[in-house]
Amino acid sequence: MGARDRTGLRQVPVRSVGVDLEAVRTFVAVADAGRFREAGAELSLTQQAVSKRIAGLEKDLGARLFTRTARGAQLTVDGRVFLPHARELLRAEERAAASVRPGRRALRVDVIGRGLAPAGLLRDFHRAHPEAQLDVVTHFLDADAAIDAVRAGTIDASFRAVTTPARHLPDGIEAVRVHDEPLQLLTGPAHEFADTRAVTPAALAGHRIWMPGIVTGTEWAAYYDELALAFGLTIDATGPNFGLEPLLDMIADSPALATFVGEGTRFVWPADYDLRRIPVHDPTPAYPHSLIWHGDNPHPQLAALRAYLESAQPGQRDAETWTPKWAQR
C-alpha cells in the first residue's frame, strides 16, 4: 500500500530500472556496426553473446531496440531515442574510471567512427607498438565537443578536422594535421560513372551526391560545404539518416545517386550490390585529419602516437590535392 509522508499523502513505490553497462556498451557497438557479428568481433564476443546481452537490455528497459533483418540490425524508434543516453552512460563510466586510475590506464583516443581512416591509423600504430594499451572511443559528434573532452581529461586525444586556426584554440590545446584522406565516389552498377577508372570533381557538377549523415555545424559539414562550393557540386544532406546499410541499398539500386567515402573507410556490402569505389582526381579532394591533445598530458603512449603519426605522414603534400582553405596550415 505504501507509507504516508508528512503531508498525509500515500507514497507510491517507484520501480527503478537498472541496466548492465556491458550490455549498454554492446548496444552502442551494434548501433555503430549495424550487425551483431561485426559488433561481436569489435568486442571479442560471439554473436550469440551479443544477442544475449541485447535481449537482456531490452528486457530491462521494456523496449525493443533493434529490428533484425537479413541485412543487419536496424535501430527501432526506441533504439534511436536510447542511443544518445547510452553514449552518455558510457562517457560517465569512463570519467569515473579515469578519476581513479590516472597512472595505469590505456590511452583514450576519440575517432568519429571505428570504420574510418583514423581508426585504421590507430590499428597501424598498435601493430607497430603492440605493447601500447589503447581505449578507442566514438563519443563525440563534432570537434568542439572533442576539444572540450580533451580539456576535461576524459580523453587523451581526438582525430578531427580542425576548422579553427591554431592560435584560436583553447589554452593548452594543440592540434597537428596528420593525415589527408582522399575521397572516392561510391556508385551502383547502373550509375553513369560506374565503369570509369577515375572521375574529376568538375565532372561531378550536376550529379546528386547524397550524404544524409551530414550534421549541420560539424567540421565535416563545413568540409563538404566548401567542397561543394569549390567545384559546383550538389551535395544533398536531406532525408532521414537510417545508417550506412540503407544508404548503400539506395545507392546500389539507383542510376542517379552516388555518395562520397574516404579512401580509408572500411565497410562491406552484399555481393549483388556490385558497388563501385571510384577515385576522384585532378584535383583529389582530401579530408584533413588532425590529432588534438592537451600539451600538459604526460601519458607516455601519447608521445609515442604523435611520433608515429609524424613519421607515417608524407613529407610533402601532393600539389594536386584539394583541401579547404582553413586546412592550409
The 3-class secondary structure across 91-119, one letter per residue, is: HHHHHHHHCCCCCCCCEEEECCCCCCHHH
For residue 11, pLDDT beyond 60: no
Model confidence pTM above 0.75: no
Class of domain 107-179+288-319: alpha beta
Highest mean pLDDT (candidates 84-93, 136-145, 180-189): 180-189
For residue 110, pLDDT beyond 50: yes
Integer CA distances (angstroms), 277 to 28, 164, 193, 195, 251, in order: 28, 31, 10, 10, 12
For residue 10, pLDDT beyond 50: no
For residue 126, pLDDT beyond 90: yes
Q: What is the CATH number of domain 21-96?
A: 1.10.10.10
The confidence score (pLDDT) of residue 3 equals: 47
Q: What is the rounded average pLDDT of the residues 194-208?
A: 96
Which residue would you say has higher pLDDT here, 102 or 284?
Answer: 284
For residue 4, pLDDT beyond 80: no
The confidence score (pLDDT) of residue 266 equals: 87
The confidence score (pLDDT) of residue 6 equals: 44
Angle, CA 207 vertex, CA 203 and CA 209 arms, to 5°: 110
Grid coordinates representing 142 are 563534432
Give the domain ranges of the chain.
Answer: 21-96, 107-179+288-319, 181-285
- Mean pLDDT in the chain? 88
In angstroms, rounded to a whole number, what is the distance separating the alpha carbons of residues 226 and 235? 11
Integer CA distances (angstroms), 21 to 17, 24, 77, in order: 12, 5, 21
Q: Mind listing the pLDDT tens digit for each residue in 24-56?
A: 999 999 999 999 999 999 899 999 999 999 999
**Short-list 280, 319, 288, 261, CA closest to 201:** 280
Integer CA distances (angstroms), 207 to 187, 203, 252, in order: 12, 8, 16
Class of domain 181-285: alpha beta
The confidence score (pLDDT) of residue 270 equals: 85
Residue 69 contacts by C-beta under 8 Å, 6 or more apart in sequence? Answer: none
Instruction: Note whether 21-96 and 107-179+288-319 share their fold.
Output: no
For residue 99, pLDDT beyond 70: no
Q: Mind listing the pLDDT tens digit for each residue in 58-81?
A: 999 999 999 988 778 999 999 999
How, if at all, do strands 72-75 and 66-69 pair? antiparallel
Which residue would you say has higher pLDDT here, 102 or 225?
Answer: 225
Q: Dihedrals φ, ψ of 134, to 5°? A: -120, 140
Q: What is the rounded average pLDDT of the residues 215-230?
A: 93
Confidence of residue 322 (pLDDT cuts 50, 70, 90): very high
